[in-house]
Structure formats: C-alpha cells, structure tokens
Structure 1
Amino acid sequence: MTLAIMLYTCNYHDVVNFVVPVTVPLLVVVVVVGGVVMVIIVIMMTMISFVLFQKTKKEEEIGTRSFACCQESNCEEHTKQLRRRLKIIFNSGLKWKKNACNFRFMYCFVFFVQIIKVALITHQMFHFADDRGKFSSVVNRGDLVLRHLLLEHWDASWETLPYPRAQGDFAVYTINELENGINYAVKNFYNAEREAIGYYIRTADDKMTATIKYFDFPGFHDNTSIEADITISEITFPIEKGLMAEKTVENETIYSYDITREFEHYNISHPIKRMLSTILYFKLHSVRSNEDSMKGTCLRIEGSLEFADNDNNGQVLVDLKTSSKRIICKDMNLSISDWQLQHTTVHVGVSVIILSFSSIVLTVVYLVFVLCTYCRTKQYMKKHYKTHYKDDNEDLPTSEYCRFFPFWDIITFLSDICTSIGTFLIVHNDKHGEWLLEELDLYIMLLGLGSLLAWLSLLRFFEFYSRFNLLFRTIYKSCPDIITYLICVSVLFVGFLFCGYIVMAPYHVKFKTPSDAAETLFSIINGDEIYTTLALLESEWSGGYWVRWFSRLYVVAFVAIFTVLGINLFIALFLNAYESIKHCQQGKRELGPIENLLNLALNETNLHNALYNTMKETTNDGNNGLLRKELSNFVCIREGETQLKLIKRKTLKEFVMNDKDEDEPLCEIGSVKCNWSLC
C-alpha cells in the first residue's frame, strides 16, 4: 500500500518501467490462482463436510470419546474459541449501540484500504472514459465522413437514431442506380486524397477489391450447362479493369470507374439481374490532429461497402461498415508525435494494480479462515448440538450453514480481478501503440464493472448501525421467496416472448428478433410505450385482421399479468420481509405462527398447566404421545423448573449470543464506552 501511495504521488519513471512488465505474469498468476482457489474452496467444503460426517458417525457407532473437545476440561475452552471465530465472521467490525462503541483494528484497516482503492479506481475510470470518448468521437465522425464520401445520395437525414425511424431502408431499386452507386463509391475512394476535406492517404497496400455473388437457373440465359435448380457462384477480383485515370493541368490524377468493364472482362452476362450481393473491400489511412496535446492520431481504416439483395426481390440494401485502428505514425512515414491516452497515467494504473493484488491476498486469506471455521463449526455441532440446544435433531439446519457463504468477499474478489485486468490492458496497450475502439470499450467495461463491484463492496461496512443494516437484512430475508417467484415468472415471460416473436415478427419493428421482443416486453412491464407498441404494428401487410386483434389481446394480457399483478406481488414479498426484520429490530424475536400461539397459551394459567402435564407424562402411547413429540420441537421444561419455556432457536446467532465474555472498555468518555480488539 505504501508503494501504491508513493507511485500515485510521485512520477517515478524508472520504477514504473520496471513494474509494468512484471505485472504481465503477475496478473496471469492472480487470475488463474484466484479462480482455482474459489473452485477449491467449494470442493473442499463439500469434501470435508462429508468426511467429518462419516467420521462422526463412525465414532458414535464404536462409542469412542477420542475427540479432544469431548473432555470436560477442554470443551469449554473449545466452545469459547469457536464463538470468537464466529463473532469475527458474523459480527460487524464496527458497532455503535446504546452509547457503546465496539471496533476491530483489522476491520478498520481493510476499510481504509478499500476506500483508497475505490478512490483510485474511480479516478482512473473517469479519466480513461474521457480519453475513450475523444477517440470514439474521432472514429465515429470518420465513419460519417466516409458515408458521405462513398455512398451516393447519402445525407444527414439518414443519421438519425434508429428508433423511432425517420425514414425507410437506404436502398436502390433500379439497374442504373445500382451501377451508379458502385461507380460512385469506387471513384470517390480513389479520389479521396484530392477531394475529401479530411487528411486521407492511400499507401501502396491500400487498394479496393470486389466480391460478387450471383445465381443461375435453367432458362435464365443461354447457358445450357445448368440442368436443374438454382446455382450460386461467387467471384472476387481487384478493382483494375474498370478503373481509368486522367491527368489534370496541375499534374493531379483524377480517377473514374465503370463496373460494366469488369463484368465484360470476367465474362459475366446479365450481372445486375442475377446479383445477390456486391461487396467492396477497401483499406485507407488517415491522420487526425489533437489541438490540446498538439499531437496526431494516425488511423488505418478497413471497411466494406455492401450492396445486398439476398432474396433477389429488387430492393438492394446499401450498408457501409468500417473499422479504424490507431497506429504509430512512423508506420505511415510521418514525423509527428503520436496521441496517447493523455489523462490515463501509468503510475495511477500501477497503484491500482498493487492495491487490487493486496486486496486479493487479503480476500483469499479471509476465505481460508471462513472455510476452517465452517469445518470446525460443522464438527462441533455434530458432537454437541443436543447438549446446547436440548433438541433431538442431529445438527443445525442447512440454512444456518449457508450463512458461511462469503457473498461480500466474492464481490470484492471479482471487483479486484476486473479492475486488475482492465487496468493492465489499458497501461500495456497505451504503450503498445495500436488499438481499436472495440478494445477500449472492453477495457472501460471491465473498469466500469470493477468500479461498480468495488462501490458495492463498501456497503458491507455500513452494517455497524442497525438502520443501515435494515436494507441488507431485508434482502437476505426475502431472497429465497424472490428467487422462487422469479423462476415462475421467467417461465411465463419466455412463453410471452416466443409467442409475440413468432406471431408479430414480420409486421412489427419491435419484435423483429427475439432480443428485440424481450426488450419490448421489459419496457411494457414498466408501463412504457404501450401505445407505441400497438401503433407500430404494420397490420396492412398481414394477410388479414387476425394479427391486429391478436396484438391487442396479447399486450393487454401481458400488462394485466406482469404490470398489475406481477410487480405488486414482487413488492409485497419485500414488504413482508421488511416488516419481519423491523419487528426483530424492535427487540422482539421473530416467532413463527405456531410459536406465537404457544406463546399466548403459556401466558394463560389453565392452558399452561394442561401443556405442562402433557409434557411431564412419561408414556408415549396414544394421541398424547404424538402431541408431546410435536410440542417438544417448540417448548421444553428446564431442569429444576416447573414452567414451560420456548426452546432456543436453532441458529448460530443463539450459539454466539451465549458467550458471556465481554471486552473490557479501553476508555470511557462521559457515558460512551469504547471496546476494541485486534481482529
């Protein structure tokens, strides 16, 4: 951590140049070891539980008392140690209650490290997002320039958002339009250096090639070699035969192009009538200037211009796709400084990697501690469950052992992994020189996910106050019911999804694909765009009014089931859990329905005496025996007492709360007592 702070505050280039290459194998080891550790922990917990169960069962069969805790002199000490371990896991490291402050130094140290790590991650993410935004603007504006340069009749009206659509598909419909569109694109590509406002360069390797896919069938033309069915052929050729160059008086070269010459050279008859697609592949270089840094961004652009009519229905869709890669300007024989991610500093990135690695180490150590405590608790309860809880069962319920699941530590671990990988890729690729916008999007996605999980992991430190803890306890309480509910609702949602996609996909833009249909249904759940969904149906294209009326009934049924009924039931599950947790926070133990009835009965003298006499009977015959067996799950008679009491809840919390050892107050300020411990 000290090294991380030094690197952040001072720009030690020598240290950075040494640390950055070392982080390559280090991160690989962290990712591999981290994933293996998580898998091993789960496997070990399962295997150790099984082994301990078999061992305990065997000891009970042979009547051995070899376990050290079974000795009276060691049993009490072993119980105290186990309770201390469970307190470290389940109790908050910082607690304020009734003018008493309890805290653990290790807990506060981890909290301090997390705060520094989150601050650095957020600082790095904002600056990198700013640099990524600038490069994205360069790439996307360059794509628009090439659309205006290579696509005939393209204008700004086609650059609106895809929804709601302002116009139809960009397409051509006549032979003359298709030939002119191809000739226009090739001509402007070769004249880009001269006519484009931007700085474009065609190097020796920057050329254009064409791939034409066409079909034949018997009777279409005079070719008698085709006997039956439709055959599809494909030919790829460089743009050469139809390209013509002329010199101007200024000794500049002006290019023109005629696609029909290519067809004649390759002996393709009736090409436009038989064409399924024509794709023009090209490469181009460009330079963009950065006013702030006075440096240049050199790009290698690879693109494809497609004229597609795959069904041969007469509508040829035109689409341009480009991919711009930032390269070193020396590769273009230009003596200018390369623009880099100017706000993404190396020393901040190295600091984040060091802190993330430190956090991973602490998380793994804590996970090992949780695993060992789980094994000890499992073994202890196998031996002493009946002694502590006065119950006939053999062990705690499975739900109590699920509390050992390290949710917050897994969140922290995943955050550190995403942050380390994203930061390393940013630092490495910034120095490497070449990257794509897609790569930067991946890096910012990893950083964004790591930042989200890092901020989420800070919520674990808010458990020191009961009001802050209310949210988490409500989520824990409602989680089983919510998962069950979501499984049932998901099945119904998938049914509506496929039904809407199958019926309305040809006639509705919002149901064209399963993903579009899913997004539409999610928006309808919130009550958004219900009218738009109904109005966008192109019912006049369908075979009748069946689809129109079906769409109305479909949307109404979906809104009634999911919006009106589903969401309200979802909220009710959270409210029910919230009321239960709030009842517990008021100092009352949460009782089940039968426990509530028994609690009322024990306060009535006649009912209490009747239940007491039933529990005191020694015979197990008849209905009284069955009743006594059921009552023993809820009430018991304490030794030396003549009253019934509700038995302890079968929870680890009850086990930990019986620890009478209290830390001595370190200091007392007025009426406030402060207790502390190392861990």
Structure 2
Amino acid sequence: MESTDTMVKPSTALDDHESPYMSKTCTMSEELLIEDQLRRKLKFFFMNPCEKFRARGRKPWKLCIQILKIAMVTIQLVLFGLSNQMVVTFKEENTVAFKHLFLKDYKDARDDTYAVYRQRDVYEHIDFTIKQYLELRNISLGNHDYERSDAGQTGMTACQYFYKDGSIFPGNDTFDIDPNIEKECFYVELMTPVNDLEGKFWNTTLDFYRLVTVEIMFKLKAINLQTIRHHELPDCYDFTVTITFDNKAHSGRIKISLDNYVAIQECKDWHISGSIQKNTHYMMIFDAVVILTCISSITLCIRSVVKGIHLQREYISFVEQRFSKTVPWSDQMEFVNGWYILIIVSDVFSIVGSILKMEIQAKSLTSYDVCSILLGTSTMLVWLGVIRYLGFFQKYNLLILTLRAALPNVIRFCCCAAMIYLGYCFCGWIVLGPYHTKFRSLNMVSECLFSLINGDDMFTTFSIMQQKNYLVWLFSRVYLYSFISLFIYMVLSLFIALITDTYDTIKTYQREGFPETELRSFVSECKDSPTSSRYRDPDDMSMTLLCCCERWGITTRVFC
C-alpha cells in the first residue's frame, strides 16, 4: 500500500528514501537517451530509400513518382517537339518562299551579299516586288492569300525614309545635311492593274543622295495543313513581310533583306472529318495527368525539405546546449538536399509548360518558344535528378562526388581565367573587328575564341585575316598564337588537372574512407542497422525514460 501511495504523490521534492545521486543519474540517462534518439533520427534521415524501407517499411514514393514522371514528361516533350518542329519548319519554308517570290533573282545562301549597285536596279527590284505581290494567287505554290479586314482586303505599303534636306558635293568635299528623317509612303491597292505601276512612283521621288531606306510591307495569310497528319488541329498564320533597301552607309551598295514576322492564331471557321478533335482531348487529359504528377512530386519534395530544416534546427539546438558550440555551415547545409530543390524547380517548369501546351492545343495561345523552353528545361532537370538515386550506389557515385568536390575550385579557377578571356575578347574586337569577319561583334569574338580553345576552325581563322594592313596582320598573328598557346596548353591543361586531381582524391577516399565531419561523426556512433526494430518504435520519450528510472529502482517519479 505504501508503494501505491507513493506513485501518486506530487513530484515537488525528493522522498526520504531517494538520494540526490539517483536523481542526478536519472538526469544524465535522460540526456543520453535524447542524444541517442537524435542520432537515430539523423541516421534515418540520411538513409537512402532502400534503407528507409528496411528500417520502417516506408515506401519510396518519391522514387516511384520520379520514375513515372520521367516517362510521362519525356513522352510529352517528344510529342510537343514534333508539333513545334512542324511549326518552325513551316515558318522557315514560308520565309524562303517569300524571298524567291518577291526578291528579284534571289538565290539561296546569298543573304549576306544580296544587294544592288545601280539606280535602275533599285527601280526594277521595287517594281518586281509590287508585281509579284499583285499576282500572288497566280504564281504561289502555297495556300497564301491576302489579309482581309472588316473593310475588305488590305494592300501593300511602300515607304521611303530620307534626310529632310541636304546638298552633297563630294568633289568639293562639301555638304549641307539636315539629319532629321522624313517619311513618304504610297499605298498599292490589290485591284490596281499591273501595267499602271511601271515606274509611276519611284522615278520622281527617289533621291539617292538623301535616301536612307526603302521599306515595302504587306501581310499575307496561310494555313498549316501538315498538322492534320499528326492528328492536330491546323493553325492559321499571319505573315507580316518587310522588304528593306538599306542605304544608310551611302557607299554605293544598297543591301536588300526580307524579314518575316509570324503570328499564329486559331482559325475562325473550320471543320475536319474524323477523330482529330477527340485526339486533342486525349492529349489535354494526358497533360493534366502530368500536372497532377508534378504537383504530387512537389508536395513530397517540399515535405522532405521542411522536415530537413526542422531536423537541422533540432540538431543545432542540441549541439549548442549539450556541447556549447556552433554547428559549422557545411554541416548545416547537409540537411538541405539540393536534389529536392532541383526537382521542385523542374516540376514548376513542367507545370507551367504543360498549362501553356494545353492552351496551345486549345488554340488559346501560340507561345511555342516559351513552352518549348519550359518543357525542355524541366525534362533536362528531371533526367539530371535521376543521378541522385544512382548516387546511392558507390560504383555510380564517383561522378557526383567528383563534381561536388571540384566545384568550388573550378569556380575560382574559371573566374581567374575569365579575366584573361575577356581581355582577349575586347582586344580582338577593337583591333581585328574591321578586318576580320569573325571579330565584328563581341558575341562573335567570344564564339570564335571559344572555338579556338576547343581546336575548331583554326586554319580558317588565320586565313581569313586580310593582309592589307601589315601592322594589323602582324598583330593578329601575335594575338592568335598567344591566345591559343595560353589557353590550350596552359589554362585548359590546368583545368583538366584540377578535375583529375579531385578525381584521384575521391578514388582514394573510396578506398580508405572519407574524412568525417562533426555531423557524420555524431551520426556514426549510432550502430543500429536499418533492419533494427528500434526505427519502427514511436519516439515516446516519457515511456523510455520511465523504463530507465525503473532500472535504477526509482518508482515514485513519472517525470523522471
């Protein structure tokens, strides 16, 4: 009876038969049990999916969803890629067709050299363009037609841009120019007879001394019927064609170019016999399933990230209270799994891209380029995320460990090499740009030098350099030889050596063991294997502590 009474006594003071030594021992045991539980919790957190399944029977849902998502996202990308390829091909082929239709004597691969040099040639090209436009229905092989507005069919607009006033006398080295640009346009009606246009406007209005540009603009429409063969609804295209006669340099050479701006929209009235509409619905259902799968993946990954952050705070608090020291930043980052962040980003891209794809299939949007970027990036990141699961096996983990270990040194090395590279870029652009076609812009200089680093197109780069100015030619040789020698034989070799050294270090660690951080050393003291039943028990601290106290003969303190 006395034992029963003591079990319900308030726990405010020690009984007569209890000693301070027993209370102190119980407190130490409590701290040890808390430490042991934290170790076991950390060890379970850093287990791979297979070990977690053996430890608690937890199904690897994230792994299953990632495998399913890889298949679905890849199929979605392939189907959209085929559709986008048809769109791009239709755009490019129409642009080429317009160049052959509306540019006189145009030949393929002549875009950089297509120009006129006589005044009469300018008139002839303009007259040719106008005539071809008026006779489009009789000469075009495609299903092109004129744009129709509410008031009827629209025509062609031809404008010339010229200096407001000017008197130029090159023989006397004198000129008087008003640099303000004026614009003069005329409109070509579709019903205008072709014979009435013979030099009617341009013979009296073109002043080549003041002429800057001539722009001819018109709009055409077409329907891309090839999508029907792939069980997709055809798109209606609006082409805004602009032909430019560029005389800005006044060098005696007027360059001619054709630009084609393409707008895609839903056809207003259509009817197709067959099951195309049903196939479109199936595709939209498939896209909706992809979105749901990605949402599930995001939910599981965010849940894992949040749990990792909570465990990080718990570990930091424990170390600060128990050992009175701070946790290194590298150990804190162990709890933030970068793979989950990568998967979350890929899922967001995939969801947004799938929504755009559904809108495109419904003909509500035509953002093919934006959609392709989102779907392509998400698929790339999804496939990269698979490397995480291969990294759980030691034989496949070498690449990941090498990249992660070498990344800081590689970034520092690239920052130093970038300074030298940019210096060569600016120097080559300002010195060789006027004489070398590959150095005309900073972008072209960077592409040329990067190709030289990889040993591509070396002889062509040397041979294109014009030898009209001997000093510049000599400088180009010193410039190119020094760049190639510096980057191929030194910078690139050091870069490879940096990766190789890290690779050898990782190989040594795999044989002899990796250096353990404070966090890993703390976790390694837990010797429970994944098959141990201790991982399946609930984390009930009070029951564990009660058992501990009972082993010491203290049966009157539940709080212990």
| Coarse TM-score class (shorter-chain normalised) | 0.7 to 0.9
**Bigger mean CA deviation after superposition, 75-84 or 195-204:** 75-84
State the distance in 1 between where 2:164 and 2:50 align: 79
Q: Give the drift of 1:420.
A: 0.8
Q: Give the drift of 1:470.
A: 1.8
Asked if the contact 1:193/1:201 (under 8 Å) is kept, the reply is yes
Q: What's the C-alpha RMSD, in Å, of the aligned pairs?
A: 3.1
Q: Give the drift of 1:106.
A: 4.3
Q: In the alignment, does 2:127 pair up with 1:201?
A: no
Q: In the alignment, does 2:229 pair up with 1:292?
A: yes
Cα pair distance change 1:180/1:468, threshold 3 Å: same
What stretches of structure 1 of length at least 5 have no aligned partner?
A: 1-69, 160-167, 222-226, 247-253, 387-393, 591-648, 667-674
Q: Give the drift of 1:157.
A: 4.7
Q: Find the counterpart in structure 2 of residue 118 from structure 1.
A: 70
Asked if the contact 1:201/1:286 (under 8 Å) is kept, the reply is yes
Cα pair distance change 1:207/1:465, threshold 3 Å: same
Asked if the contact 1:212/1:279 (under 8 Å) is kept, the reply is yes
State the distance in 2 between where 1:575 and 1:93 align: 31
Q: Find the counterpart in structure 2 of residue 454 from structure 1.
A: 382
Q: Give the drift of 1:336.
A: 5.9
Asked if the contact 2:238/2:263 (under 8 Å) is kept, the reply is yes
After superposition, give the CA deviation of every residue in 1:333-370 in whole Å (9 maximum; x if it has no partner).
x6667989978811211111111111111122112112
Q: In the alignment, does 2:36 pair up with 1:169?
A: no
Q: Find the counterpart in structure 2 of residue 36 from structure 1.
A: none
Cα pair distance change 1:84/1:182, threshold 3 Å: farther
Q: In the alignment, does 2:311 pair up with 1:383?
A: no
State the distance in 2 between where 1:441 and 1:312 align: 38
Q: Give the drift of 1:135.
A: 2.0
Q: Give the drift of 1:396.
A: 3.8
Q: Give the drift of 1:289.
A: 3.1
Paired residues, what number? 500
Q: Find the counterpart in structure 1 of residue 210 from structure 2.
A: 274
State the distance in 2 between where 1:304 and 1:272 align: 20
Q: Find the counterpart in structure 2 of residue 188 from structure 1.
A: 132
After superposition, give the CA deviation of every residue in 1:304-356 in whole Å (9 maximum; x if it has no partner).
1111121222211111111233333336xx66679899788112111111111
Correspondence 1:242-641 to 2 at 5 A: 245-246=192-193, 254=194, 257-258=197-198, 260-261=200-201, 264=204, 268=205, 270-290=206-226, 292=229, 297-330=235-268, 345-385=283-323, 394-433=325-364, 435=366, 439-540=367-468, 544-588=469-513, 590=515
Asked if the contact 1:244/1:257 (under 8 Å) is kept, the reply is no
What stretches of structure 2 of length at least 5 have no aligned partner?
A: 1-25, 170-174, 539-560
Q: Give the drift of 1:442.
A: 2.2
2:90 to 129, 138, 155: 138
Asked if the contact 1:244/1:256 (under 8 Å) is kept, the reply is no
2:528 to 637, 653, 661: 661
Asked if the contact 1:360/1:413 (under 8 Å) is kept, the reply is yes
Q: Find the counterpart in structure 1 of residue 99 from structure 2.
A: 147
After superposition, give the CA deviation of every residue in 1:171-211 in whole Å (9 maximum; x if it has no partner).
11111111111111122112111222222222334322123
Cα pair distance change 1:186/1:417, threshold 3 Å: same
- Secondary structure at the residue paired with 2:110? helix
- Secondary structure at the residue paired with 1:158? coil
- Secondary structure at the residue paired with 2:323? helix
Name the aligned partner's letter for residue 32 of structure 2.
E
Q: Find the counterpart in structure 1 of residue 6 from structure 2.
A: none
State the distance in 2 between where 1:486 and 1:554 align: 21
State the distance in 2 between where 1:305 and 1:427 align: 35
- Secondary structure at the residue paired with 2:521? helix
Q: TM-score, normalised by structure 1?
A: 0.68
Q: TM-score, normalised by structure 2?
A: 0.81
State the distance in 2 between where 1:92 and 1:158 align: 59
Cα pair distance change 1:90/1:547, threshold 3 Å: farther
1:179 to 101, 120, 123: 123
Name the aligned partner's letter for residue 655 of structure 1.
F
Name the aligned partner's letter for residue 505 of structure 1.
G
Name the aligned partner's letter for residue 371 of structure 1.
I
Asked if the contact 2:168/2:176 (under 8 Å) is kept, the reply is no
Q: Give the drift of 1:259.
A: 5.5
After superposition, give the CA deviation of every residue in 1:50-77 in whole Å (9 maximum; x if it has no partner).
xxxxxxxxxxxxxxxxxxxx95343223
Percent identity of paired positions between Structure 1 and Structure 2: 24
- Secondary structure at the residue paired with 1:432? coil
State the distance in 2 between where 1:151 and 1:105 align: 72
After superposition, give the CA deviation of every residue in 1:153-177 in whole Å (9 maximum; x if it has no partner).
1023537xxxxxxxx5211111111
- Secondary structure at the residue paired with 1:527? coil
Asked if the contact 1:326/1:433 (under 8 Å) is kept, the reply is no
Name the aligned partner's letter for residue 179 of structure 2.
T
